[in-house]
Amino acid sequence: MDTCIRASGLVKRFGRTTALDGVDLEVPTGSIQGVLGPNGAGKTTMVRILATLARPDEGSVHVAGYDALRDPVAVRGLVGLTGQYASVDDELTGRENLELIGQLLGMPGRGWKARARELVERFDLSEAGDRPVKTYSGGMRRRIDLAASLVGRPQVLYLDEPTTGLDPRSRGDLWQIVRNLAEEGTTVLLTTQYLEEADELADRIAVIDHGRTVAEGTPSELKRRTGSQTLHVRPVDPTDIDRVMGFVTDLLGTSPVLASDGVSISVPTDEPILLSSLVRRLDQQAITTDELALRLPSLDDVFFSLTGRALPGDTDEEVSA
Amino acid sequence: MSTPTLTPENVLPAPVKRRIGPLEGVGHGLTLAKRNLRYVLRTPTTLIDTVIQPVLFLVVFVFLLGGAISGSWQGYLQTLVPGLMVQITMYASIGTGMALNTDISKGIFDRFRSLPIARSAPLIGAVLGDVVRYAVALSVLLVLAFALGFRIQTDPLSTLFACVLVIVFGLTLCWFSVLIGMMVANPQAVPGVAMAVILPLTFGSNIFADPETMPRWLEIWAGINPVSHFVDTVRGLMIGGPVAGPLAWSLVAVAVCHAVLLPLALRAYLRRVR
């Protein structure tokens, strides 16, 4: 498969801090690449370099065959960028923003007008299209911003934390838009702090931490990397939880972890017969369960095992898929 | 690569561009200048700066101080108006630095930079848009001045030339404003810094009072101050008097300021947008 984005050995320093410490990345044409990492991992710096907004101190970047350092204009013509903060003019209306970009791109004839109309409709902004952007809600701002980066029909789209701060519904809408774009052949690179988001959208994920790539692969490859599965049990009667914990400890020799909901437990295991033994034991004691399953680890678990740290800010902010 | 729902046949993008020609760059600048003008129309404060300031200055100085300075406000009006044209333009130039700083501190600049347009386009846009702003401010001032009784004592062509000169002068100051705009952290800081330079240049000149009435040190400064020569030129062109001498002085001053300020402003700008 063609490689669309190829970055190697990217280093970027800001004074004494090293934002990127030798990042490599290869993204096949037409795929969705997730870049996962906590705040300050270097994700935004990386996207800015890939979009020619910043120059790396070391390393090289090629996008669709063009050298981004030598041929930035060519790369800018192929790439669309949606940053963390809406890069649109608050005072102009949504439609005017899109028209302005179309004009700057030199769309022939009145092409920019038609293109703006098309995007306004496609992004469900027909009603709001003629209001100044400063009156928009968070979700609408993200949509107009994304539309703005699509005016020139980019082959490559960079999305820097596109759903940070969005409510679950707007997030779901945006995910669908990204999926559609990828289906239409656009190569998408998406940074996120949300494991669910990377899991949901990305064909491949690069996990970066402290300016380095700590892991790379498909979501399921990454999950397999932790080397074990996780057993989840939730008894119907919450008061049974202590007895269930006792059985599992007996069978495994290690004690399980009580989940934050207080009514279920989980424990990592490589023991293939654990499930059947546990089922027999629960049966004998007439304990029924709502949930009893062996699962691949979540990306949370993966991130933890790769970096020794939990992903911040992901516990209280549930993402509905 | 196909984008079925997005790509009507007639609006396919041009093939990949690798360089941006100077003409194209100016085109981008013009597009952004239009945007900046629309911005001025939508944000009341910038409109007030452009329209209300000339009115206030004229009214305050003519009616409040005109009699005291010159014996009668009618007489004062004649000498003040050409000077105010220069002063108003200087004040208006502050907006350029503020607008650029505002854009850079918001996301919109990243958008411009991510597009295949000339790096200088936002700068050209800001400056060209402001030329229009200066012209509006001058028009407001002149219309009111005529209503109050100001009369041109030369000819329309000289007056037009005077207006063009004032706008050229404004462009010089524009670069100064851009330089400040690139150096300070936020747009609100621009007027403070700019005023520290503009106030001595405007009040320490022959705009409001005859330098001969000033203390010796201030009179010397007002004599050196290029603004005074500029005002002399504009007065000569509009109400009569020597033109050639002050014009030569003014042009030299404008050329020197351009030679110094333009490269500095460009360098500061390119460093910020790099």
Helix (H, G, I), strand (E, B) or coil at B54: helix
Q: How far is CA A90 from the centre of its chain?
A: 27
Q: What is the pLDDT of residues A101-159, one digit of tens each?
A: 999 998 887 889 999 999 999 888 999 999 999 999 988 998 999 999 999 999 999 99
Q: What size, in residues, is chain B?
A: 274
Among A154, A135, A153, A145, residue whose Cα is nearest residue A97: A145
B108 vs A89: CB contact, 8 Å cut-off?
yes
Interface test with B, best of A91, A99, A113 (most B CBs within 10 A): A91
The reply to whether A184 and A265 lie within a common domain is no
A184 vs B31: CB contact, 8 Å cut-off?
no
The reply to whether A131 and A262 lie within a common domain is no
A291 lies in some domain: yes
The reply to whether A201 and A59 lie within a common domain is yes
DSSP states of A130-181 as a string?
Answer: TSBGGG--HHHHHHHHHHHHHTT--SEEEEESTTTT--HHHHHHHHHHHHHH
The reply to whether A192 and A246 lie within a common domain is no
| Average predicted confidence (pLDDT) for chain A | 86
ipTM: 0.80
B2 vs A96: CB contact, 8 Å cut-off?
no
Number of neighbouring beta carbons within 10 Å of residue B267: 12
pLDDT of A226 strictly over 90:
no
Distance (Å, whole) CA B109 – CA B93: 21
Position A23 scores a pLDDT of 93
Distance (Å, whole) CA A20 – CA A22: 6
The CA distances from residue A256 to A276, A277, A282, B33, B121, in Å, are 17, 16, 16, 65, 62
A306 lies in some domain: no
A312 lies in some domain: no
Phi, psi dihedral angles at A266 (to 5 degrees): -145, 150
A50 vs B contacts (CB less than 8 Å): none
Nearest CA in chain B to A184: B3
Distance (Å, whole) CA A35 – CA A27: 11
Interface test with B, best of A78, A88, A100 (most B CBs within 10 A): A100
B2 vs A115: CB contact, 8 Å cut-off?
no
Interface test with A, best of B24, B111, B119 (most A CBs within 10 A): B111
A40 lies in some domain: yes
Position A219 scores a pLDDT of 86
Query: Of A179, A199, A224, which closes a domain?
Result: A224
Site of tokens 């494991």: A195
Distance (Å, whole) CA B32 – CA A104: 8
Q: What is the pLDDT of residues B135-164, one digit of tens each?
A: 989 999 999 999 999 999 999 999 999 999
CATH code: domain of residue A101: 3.40.50.300
Instruction: Determine contact, residues B161/B243, Cβ cutoff 8 Å.
Output: no
Looking at A10-24, A66-80, B7-21, B132-146, which range is the least confident one?
Answer: B7-21
Nearest to A100 among B20, B31, B274 (CB): B31
SS (H, E, C) B222-271: HHHCHHHHHHHHHHHHHHCCCCHHHHHHHHHHHHHHHHHHHHHHHHHHHH
Q: How far is CA A250 from the centre of its chain?
A: 39
Nearest CA in chain A to B10: A111
The reply to whether A247 and A210 lie within a common domain is no
The reply to whether A69 and A185 lie within a common domain is yes
Taking the domains of chain B in order of start, what are their residue ranges?
22-273
CATH code: domain of residue A239: 3.30.70
Residue A221's pLDDT band (boundaries 50, 70, 90)?
confident
Instruction: Determine contact, residues B178/B265, Cβ cutoff 8 Å.
Output: yes
pLDDT of A231 strictly over 50:
yes
Domain count, chain A: 2
Q: What size, in residues, is chain A?
A: 321
A79 vs B2: CB contact, 8 Å cut-off?
no
The reply to whether A213 and A105 lie within a common domain is yes
A23 lies in some domain: yes
Please compute the mean of the pLDDT values over residues A177-182 and round it to a whole number: 92
The reply to whether A134 and A211 lie within a common domain is yes
Domain that holds residue A261: 228-296
The reply to whether A7 and A137 lie within a common domain is yes
Number of neighbouring beta carbons within 10 Å of residue B50: 22
B16 vs A184: CB contact, 8 Å cut-off?
no
For chain B, which ranges sit under pLDDT 70? 1-15, 274
Nearest to B5 among A30, A148, A184 (CB): A184
Shortest CA gap B37–chain A (Å): 11
B106 vs A contacts (CB less than 8 Å): 85, 90
Query: Of A192, A224, A256, which closes a domain?
Result: A224
Instruction: Determine contact, residues B222/B204, Cβ cutoff 8 Å.
Output: yes
Distance (Å, whole) CA A90 – CA A316: 31
Query: Is B151 at the interface with chain A, CB within 8 A?
Result: no
Position A311 scores a pLDDT of 64
A109 vs B contacts (CB less than 8 Å): 11
Q: Residue A202 corresponds to which tokens in the numbers above?
A: 């990305």
The reply to whether A96 and A179 lie within a common domain is yes
A215 lies in some domain: yes
Sheet holding A156-160, edge to edge: A79-82, A156-160, A187-192, A32-36, A204-209, A212-217
The reply to whether A71 and A206 lie within a common domain is yes
Query: Of A208, A224, A240, which closes a domain?
Result: A224
Helix A94-104, helix A111-122: angle, nearest 10: 140
pLDDT of A37 strictly over 90:
no
pTM, two decimal places: 0.79
A217 lies in some domain: yes
A302 lies in some domain: no
Helix A138-150, helix A111-122: angle, nearest 10: 140
The reply to whether A129 and A250 lie within a common domain is no
